[in-house]
Amino acid sequence: MYDLLITGADVLQIEGGAAHVLPRHAIAVAGGRIAAIAPAIDVGLARETIAARGMIAIPGLVNAHAHMAMGLFRGVVEDVPVEEWFNDYIWPLETNLTDEDIYWGALLGLAEMIESGVTCVADHYFAMDEVARAVEESGLRANLAWAVFSGPNEEPTLARTARFVERWQGAAGGRISAWLGPHAPYTCTTDFLARVAVEAGRLSTGIHIHLSETADQVAQSLAAHGKTPVAVAHDAGLFEVPALAAHVAHPTDADVSILASHGVAVAVTPKTEMKLALGVAPVADLRARGVTVALGSDGAASNNSYDMLEAARLVALLEKHTRRDARTMPIGEALALATREGARALGLAGVTGELREGLQADIVLVRHDATHTQPIHSQPATLLYSARASDVDTLIVAGRVLMRGRRLLTIDRRRVMREAARRAARLTSRRSDRRIAHYPA
């Protein structure tokens, strides 16, 4: 007996960098996994059926770099350079956050992710026990890292985040993994990074960090340490454990070799990187040299959404534009970055990110019956270049339906929006004498 049967869906398959669909297929789910994908499966064999005629079934999207609770700061600062963005706005404002704010901010982000087809998120933020609680309730899959900086409290902070890892590793029925989150080499001393690396080894866990976001950061690192941020992280031992590096917009040739040889995954966040004028990683070059590249949203204070279909579209457009080559980053490859490669970056290859028998049933059904998606000549093209987040109809994680017919089943949408609105005014009062860290200008 199957727990769930999806019938009549066009099922997206991505092999290598090529996408195609299995037309009008059924997907059977049992014990949280995909039990079968076949042209027809008897509905009498399933406890529950979802008729998905006219919809495309896709692997759940993976958001490999987010700061979910930053949705509370959506639109608060725009059109300023990155140092002003951090020093005059975001880092002063983040001193206002309470644990409870972060819980509700995370739930707001989780609701938006479910509504836009994301089944797995790598979140990097503060008060991560609150985020983990929100993830557990939402039903999503997540990789969670507690962001830490150097400073007077770095030892107790690191100890607290280690306890967080011990508490949440493998929690929520295995949906949650917990890594360490040193913020960046420009906010952490090399000594501190080395201690984080030792702690990650002791805990048998990974690390999630920001590296080489701007050309200035690379120049400052060369001036201060005689090496790039990637080399600083490597020499501190951070790449001896599974590692996920956000942005890496300005890698040197030697950096790419280090990333490839240590299996360090890079999460690019094209919208933030363009909007804050950071620069964007050479995605096709990184991939050609064996680096795993995933896609992220970054926080919604810079993005300003958690729309991963948009991220996949942007990375394809950017690569084509930058390289002046329309053949680069074809549809299947852009969709792979948002799914299979995201899973690989989080150590979840063969667990999620593909629609294949035996993998976790992380499945999204997308409607293709709107004016902006008709007529259909190619389902993958429609998905990447025409579909909107609001076309996502149904979302399933580990076989559990979290949204059906666009109705959220695990999150009280109206309450979350009310809580976010109620907190907005207090959170945006700025005091210039307080900030959580300093961005080197």
How do strand 18-30 and strand 33-38 relate by DSSP bridges?
A: antiparallel
Instruction: Fill in the amino acid letter for 182.
Output: P
Nearer to Zn ion, 101 or 298 (CB): 298
Output the smallest distance, CB 246 to Zn ion, in A.
5
Span of 84-92, 298-306, 347-355, 379-387 interacting with Zn ion by CB under 5 A: 298-306
Confirm if 275 and 301 have CB atoms less than 8 A apart: no
Output the smallest distance, CB 155 to Zn ion, in A.
24
Nearer to Zn ion, 248 or 351 (CB): 248
Q: Map residues 247-286 to x or -, x wherever contact with Zn ion holds by CB under 5 A.
A: ----------------------------------------
**Cis omega before residue 96 (within 30°)?**
no
Mapping DSSP to helix (H, G, I), strand (E, B) and coil, where does residue 61 land?
strand
Q: Does 298 bind Zn ion (CB under 5 A)?
A: yes
Q: Does 123 bind Zn ion (CB under 5 A)?
A: no
In the window 374-403, what residues touch Zn ion (CB under 5 A)? Answer: none
Nearer to Zn ion, 29 or 209 (CB): 209
Span of 88-96, 149-157, 290-298, 307-315 interacting with Zn ion by CB under 5 A: 290-298
Nearer to Zn ion, 139 or 206 (CB): 206
Output the smallest distance, CB 296 to Zn ion, in A.
8
Per-residue exposure over 210-224, b if at least 16 CB sit within 10 Å of its own CB, e if not: bbbbbeebbebbeee
- Integer Cα distance of 278 and 83 in angstroms: 11
Q: Does 115 bind Zn ion (CB under 5 A)?
A: no
**CA 3, chain centre distance (Å):** 28
Nearer to Zn ion, 112 or 298 (CB): 298
Q: Where are the alpha helices (DSSP H) in 240-378?
A: 253-261, 270-275, 283-288, 308-323, 331-337, 340-345
Nearer to Zn ion, 298 or 419 (CB): 298
Instruction: Output the residue with the shortest Cβ distance to Zn ion.
Output: 298
Output the smallest distance, CB 183 to Zn ion, in A.
9
- Integer Cα distance of 181 and 161 in angstroms: 8
Nearer to Zn ion, 180 or 398 (CB): 180
Output the smallest distance, CB 304 to Zn ion, in A.
14
Q: Pick the closest to residue 313 from 288, 291, 331 (CA basis).
A: 331
In the window 167-206, what residues touch Zn ion (CB under 5 A)? Answer: none
Output the smallest distance, CB 94 to Zn ion, in A.
13
Nearer to Zn ion, 64 or 363 (CB): 64
Per-residue exposure over 55-89, b if at least 16 CB sit within 10 Å of its own CB, e if not: bbbbbbbbbbbbbbbbbbbbebbeeeebeebbbbb
Binding site for Zn ion (CB under 5 A): 298
